[in-house]
Amino acid sequence: MRLNSLFAHGKLLLTGEYAVLDGARALALPTRFGQTLEVISTDTSDVLHWESVDNEGVIWFSATFQLSDLSLLTFDNETVALRLQSVLTQCRAQNPQFARVENGGLSFTITSSFPLDWGLGSSSTLIALLAKWANINPYLLLENTFGGSGYDIACAFANGSILYQRPASVLDENRFEVVHFNPAFSDQLFFVYLGQKQDSRAGIQRYKAVAQERQGLVAAINVLTERIIQADTLLLFESILLEHEYLIAQTLDLPRAQEVLFPSFPGVIKSLGAWGGDFVLATSPWNATESKQWFAQHGFGTCLEYQEMI
């Protein structure tokens, strides 16, 4: 018997990357892509069966747990199994009734609608979905497992773009407001996949290592975020994107993605989230067909229109 089916959006961080950890106001965009969690009851006594399915319908991970104490019974990837076990254990720590049934067992299936290497939030949607199913604080669950600012958790069930600010207390769930961000020039905005899955934690460590350069960064990012939300022309939007890119590049002492990968591109390229991988935002002077053709010719075959992604 099916108990529940939930969907959580993936995410992209348009402004405030890294600085969002220090409380900067960041513009975040929930994506059309995400993950679905389906929970059904089974006749297998005291067993939780788990399957993770990719966007092509292939089961890429499976495991079973003893429901009574969430101990591992079987798995096909120990690293993933132990990480999942820690999340399930934290769910029960917050809600002792999580995944407890008197008779029979449970089957959890989480299915992604995007390739997992896209970096749209397979971990964050997992956290958000399990927290909602368990009726617990998703930000506390995140803090006790993967860590991070929580903007991705906020995106999971948001109905539109959000202005996110990390609070001082992890228990504070009042973190964001929905904002209207649907630029009139959105047909000139594209999301380009770089083909390199980025380790967000490595980027965060680099950011935290440059503490002296972070002074004043939050205030500057807050101003840029507000300006980007209000930008009403592509030219103004591009100029603010460049300000943001130069500011983060100076803070991290890293070159901009455009300098390294797209020096001949006539528009503006902005990194999204962790620098060096996953997606970038591109503003293009061409239509969708011409833009996708240009990126494909330069080795970047995944280029999505704004409305395809957001």
- Predicted local distance difference test score (pLDDT) of residue 207: 76
For residue 309, pLDDT over 80 is answered with yes
SS (H, E, C) 233-272: CHHHHHHHHHHHHHHHHHHHCCCCHHHHHCCCCCCEEEEC
What is the C-alpha to C-alpha distance for residues 223 and 207, in angstroms, rounded to an integer? 20
Neighbours of 3 (CB within 10 A): 13
pLDDT digits (tens, 9 = 90+) for 257-299: 999 999 999 999 999 987 766 899 999 999 999 999 999 999 9
**Please, what's the largest Cα pairwise distance for the chain?**
64
**11 shares its domain with 136:** yes
Q: Residues 190, 174: one domain?
A: no
Q: To the nearest whole number, what is the mean pLDDT of the chain?
A: 93
- Each residue's pLDDT tens digit, 76-115: 999 999 999 999 999 999 999 999 998 899 999 999 999 9
Measured in Å, how far apart are the chain's first and last C-alpha atoms? 33
Cα–Cα–Cα angle for 219, 237, 30, nearest 5°? Answer: 75
Phi, psi of 244 (to 5 degrees): -65, -45
Q: How far is CA 241 from the centre of its chain?
A: 20
Which pLDDT score, from 0 to 100, does residue 47 have? 98
Judge if 60 and 200 occupy the same domain: no
Cα gap 45→34, rounded to integer Å: 31
Residues 68 and 158 in one domain: yes
The verdict on 150 and 173 lying in the same domain is yes
Alpha-carbon separation of residue 274 from 123, 268, 305 (angstroms): 15, 18, 21
Per-residue pLDDT band for 13 (boundaries 50, 70, 90) equals very high
Whole-angstrom distance, CA of residue 21 vs CA of residue 9: 21
In the three-class reduction of DSSP (H, G, I as helix; E, B as strand; rest coil), residue 292 is classed as helix
Provide the pLDDT for residue 208. Answer: 74
- Residue 253 — pLDDT band, cuts 50, 70, 90? confident
C-beta of residue 164 within 8 angstroms of C-beta of residue 229:
no
Please give the residue that has the higher pLDDT: either 150 or 4. 150
Q: Which pLDDT value is given to residue 2?
A: 63
Last-in-domain residue among 141, 159, 178: 178
Residues 169 and 29 in one domain: yes
Alpha-helical (H) ranges within the chain are: 78-94, 122-134, 138-143, 151-156, 200-208, 217-230, 234-252, 257-261, 288-297, 306-309
Segment 131-154 shows an average pLDDT of 96
- Scan for tokens 């455009």, then name that residue: 258
Q: Which of 178, 194, 217 is the last residue of a domain?
A: 178
Cα–Cα distance measured from residue 152 to residue 128, given in angstroms and rounded to the nearest whole number: 9
Rounded CA separation 261/47 (Å): 49
- The reply to whether 209 and 171 lie within a common domain is no
Is residue 214 pLDDT above 80, yes or no? Answer: no
Determine the structural domain holding residue 229 and report its residue range.
Answer: 186-309
The domain tally of the chain equals: 2
Q: Which of 1-10, 49-58, 244-253 is predicted with the least confidence, judged by mean pLDDT?
A: 1-10
Of 137, 156, 178, the residue at which a domain comes to its end is: 178
Residue 195, CA distances (Å) to 202, 303, 310 in order: 17, 11, 20
pLDDT value at residue 202:
65
Using the predicted structure, report yes or no on whether residue 181 has a pLDDT greater than 90: yes
pLDDT on residue 288: 98
CATH number reported for the structural domain that contains residue 82 in this entry: 3.30.230.10
